[in-house]
Amino acid sequence: MPVPLFDTTTALEPLRERIDAAIAEVVAARRFILGPSVAAFEEELARYCGTRHAVGVANGTDAITIALRSMGVGPGDDVIVPSFTFYATAEAVPATGARPVFCDVDPDTYCITAETVAAALTPATKAVVAVHLFGNLAPVAAIEALGVPVLEDAAQAAGTRSAAGRAGALGRAATFSFFPSKNLGCFGDGGAITTDDDAVAEQARMLRFHGSHDKVTYEHVGYNSRLDELQAAILRVQLPSLDSWSDGRRAAARHYEQAGLGELVSLPVAGDGCEPAWHLYVVRSERVDELAAGLPKHAIGCKSYYRLPVHRQPAMRAFAGGVQLPVTDAVASTHLALPMSPVLSAAQAAEVVAAVRAVLG
């Protein structure tokens, strides 16, 4: 039986009728922008995360730009970001006028650490974007102890929890993406900012609507970046399932461990005190090219997502300078995502592990 890299349909099937009804309700009400569904979803997402505020925006990339600007980041500032992440994390920084400064990651968690951030601090550092990569958790408190505010990029970490709280409730502010393949995905583009900080939330609400409070006076050059009513209505139906889907992702990781995957490749290591809602299950191997070529022959989906890390991307050349990120380069050339979803069964995990064993011989 083929095992796909991810499965975004099976877990949604039981919700299909309620999603269709929610869409029909929005269409009947003919209120599509900043109406009751967005307001209700914002309240429910904030309650879920354990924050005072959630602000819906158009996508996870805008969420980062708007959150950074709401935290006071602008021209002349530096923002520390990982290079081993989706490109958008860094791309969102120049959009504020600030400069991205790249830092390295931990080889086991794939996330930034207080040490890698400390090595990248400059006198102009105004904020750090801590990416909770693949659903793992970056050590937000340890990074904030360096004296810089943290914006969590929780695009891949909806459903991840820790002793200190959920992803999205740990830094000055946090951002989510509801791109369809994320842990909590809508039927198009969507995003949100969560925060306990009243001023950050108010700025974000203003910036997402052209820099205006009241649609009469325009105080900032802002954005047209709203989560829309249809997407919010779809997300409202799904949010109550996020914890059980996350449990499914955690169970899938345990299935891999129990099937002996750790004897064949290096497994991802959960951050301190963290229970990751694994968005992607990313292993490491020196023989990653053989695996990437061989697994599809066994009908097993796999993908190396960030082969060319962000600091080596053409558009980031002006910001990367001569920065040396040895762990990022090593992880970029040895990582491989194996199938992961809320419904990945023990039998499927065993099939993946058998295929990995067959390829590696």
Ligand X SMILES: *Cc1c(COP(=O)(O)O)cnc(C)c1O
Contact positions toward ligand X, by CB under 6 A? Answer: 59-61, 85-86, 88-89, 131, 153, 155-156, 177, 179, 189, 191
**Closest CB to ligand X among residues 85, 162:** 85
Is 341 in contact with 252 (CB distance < 8 Å)?
Answer: yes
Residue showing the smallest CB distance to ligand X in the complex: 60
Q: How far is the CB of 24 from ligand X (least distance, A)?
A: 25
Report, in this order, helix, strand and coil percent for the chain, each rounded to 5.
Answer: 45, 15, 40
CA dihedral 269, 272, 277, 283 (to 10 degrees): -10
**Closest CB to ligand X among residues 338, 349:** 338
Q: How far is the CB of 86 from ligand X (least distance, A)?
A: 4
Which tokens go with 210?
């052209």
**Closest CB to ligand X among residues 88, 300:** 88
Q: How far is the CB of 160 from ligand X (least distance, A)?
A: 13
**Closest CB to ligand X among residues 190, 294:** 190
Integer Cα distance of 106 and 113 in angstroms: 7
Is 152 in contact with 103 (CB distance < 8 Å)?
Answer: no
Q: How far is the CB of 155 from ligand X (least distance, A)?
A: 3
Integer Cα distance of 42 and 81 in angstroms: 27
The single residue listed with the structure tokens 């790249």 is 102
**Closest CB to ligand X among residues 3, 155:** 155
- Residue partners of 72: CB distance under 8 A and separation at least 6: 126
Q: How far is the CB of 179 from ligand X (least distance, A)?
A: 4
Integer Cα distance of 287 and 137 in angstroms: 27
**Closest CB to ligand X among residues 136, 203:** 136
Q: How far is the CB of 154 from ligand X (least distance, A)?
A: 8
Integer Cα distance of 96 and 71 in angstroms: 11
